[in-house]
């Protein structure tokens, strides 16, 4: 391995996260506005260059914490984007992670060295934005994978740190999958999986029957859900 062979000199690694949330039945993705070149003033996913002294997971967690204040996320490696010209500066390969977070937990770090703003965008509006790098493609791939993940893993646990009602989580599934699910079958299925437990509490919406509050059990493993 010759370090200075021009065939593979000056390469780098991006770690990039597509962070999703669901609010009032709308799937949203977190974007930040870049302060520096390249792609100054473009909206971009949360991420950046991997450091030499950190593992991939550490790197993406650091990037997310720097820009959102969030820690302890349940991230999943989902894809790699490595087209020759995806970065205008030098050859960069992007390792793409997926995460789902409760919108209320996010505490944006408004003024960092590299970003000037952070905002949630409706996934349907993202296609109208000019994003930095190949981030549009990365989001598309991540959203596609999100649909799989909610059927095959417990990725949604972090969406509801303080519990959820069945109508709420049902709406989340429909929003992400973009098609309706039968209420009663959904309910029976989810409860039969032994992933959630009744908290005994109820949650009141205005003028309607209160709904039971459930929460995910601790330490549940990834399993096929649907």
Interface residues with DNA (CB under 7 A)? 165-167, 182-185, 187-189, 204-212, 226
Instruction: List the single partner that 207 binds among DNA, a second copy, none, CB under 5 to 8 Å by kind.
Output: DNA
**Which of DNA, a second copy, none sits in contact with 211, Cβ below 5 to 8 A by type?**
DNA
Q: Nearest approach, Cβ of 181 to DNA (angstroms)?
A: 8
Q: How far is CA 112 from the centre of its chain?
A: 21
Q: Are 134 and 83 in contact (CB under 8 A)?
A: yes
Q: Binding partner of residue 52 among DNA, a second copy, none, CB under 5 to 8 Å per kind?
A: a second copy
Q: At 188, list the tokens.
A: 């029976």
DSSP 39-63: STT-EE-EEEEPPTTS-HHHHHHHH
- End-to-end Cα, the chain, rounded Å: 47
Q: Is the peptide bond before 18 cis (omega within 30 degrees of 0)?
A: no
20 within 8 A of 28, measured Cβ to Cβ = yes
CA-to-CA dists, residue 162 to 104, 133, 146, 150, angstroms? 11, 36, 22, 19
Q: Which residue, 58 or 185, has its beta carbon nearer to a second copy?
A: 58
Beta carbon nearer to a second copy, 10 or 125: 10
Q: Which entry of a second copy, DNA, none binds 87, CB below 5 to 8 A by partner kind? A: a second copy
Residue ranges of E strands in the chain:
11-23, 26-34, 43-44, 46-49, 76-81, 91-100, 115-122, 164-165, 196-203, 211-216
Shortest Cβ distance from residue 193 to DNA (Å)?
A: 9
Question: Interface with a second copy includes 226 (CB under 8 A)?
Answer: no
Specify whether the CB–CB gap between 21 and 101 falls below 8 A. Answer: yes
In the list DNA, a second copy, none, the entry touching 38 (Cβ below 5 to 8 angstroms by class) is: a second copy
**Closer of 1 and 206 to a second copy (Cβ):** 1
CB of 204 to DNA, least distance (A): 6
Using CB under 8 A, which residues numbered 75 to 114 contact a second copy? 77, 79-80, 82-84, 87, 89-91, 93, 95
Query: Which residues of the shown chain bind a second copy in the complex (CB under 8 A)?
Result: 1, 3, 5-13, 37-38, 49-56, 77, 79-80, 82-84, 87, 89-91, 93, 95
């Amino acid at each position: 391995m010759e370090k200075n062979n021009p065939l593979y000199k000056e390469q780098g690694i991006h770690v990039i996260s597509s962070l999703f949330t669901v609010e009032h039945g709308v799937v949203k993705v977190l974007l930040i506005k870049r302060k520096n070149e390249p792609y100054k003033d473009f909206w971009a996913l949360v991420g950046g260059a991997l450091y030499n002294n950190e593992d991939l997971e550490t790197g993406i967690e650091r990037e997310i914490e720097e820009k959102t204040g969030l820690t302890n996320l349940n991230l999943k490696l989902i894809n790699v984007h490595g087209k020759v010209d995806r970065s205008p500066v030098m050859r960069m390969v992007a390792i793409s992670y997926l995460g789902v977070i409760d919108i209320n937990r996010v505490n944006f770090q408004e003024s960092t060295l590299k970003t000037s703003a952070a905002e949630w965008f409706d996934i349907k509006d993202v296609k109208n934005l000019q994003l930095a790098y190949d981030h549009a493609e990365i989001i598309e791939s991540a959203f596609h994978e999100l649909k799989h993940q909610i059927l095959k893993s417990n990725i949604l646990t972090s969406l509801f740190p303080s519990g959820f009602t069945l109508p709420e989580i049902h709406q989340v599934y429909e929003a992400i999958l973009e098609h309706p699910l039968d209420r009663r079958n959904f309910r029976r299925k989810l409860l039969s999986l032994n992933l959630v437990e009744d908290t005994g509490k109820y949650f009141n919406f205005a003028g309607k029957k209160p709904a039971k509050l459930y929460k995910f059990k601790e330490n549940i493993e990834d399993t096929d859900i649907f």
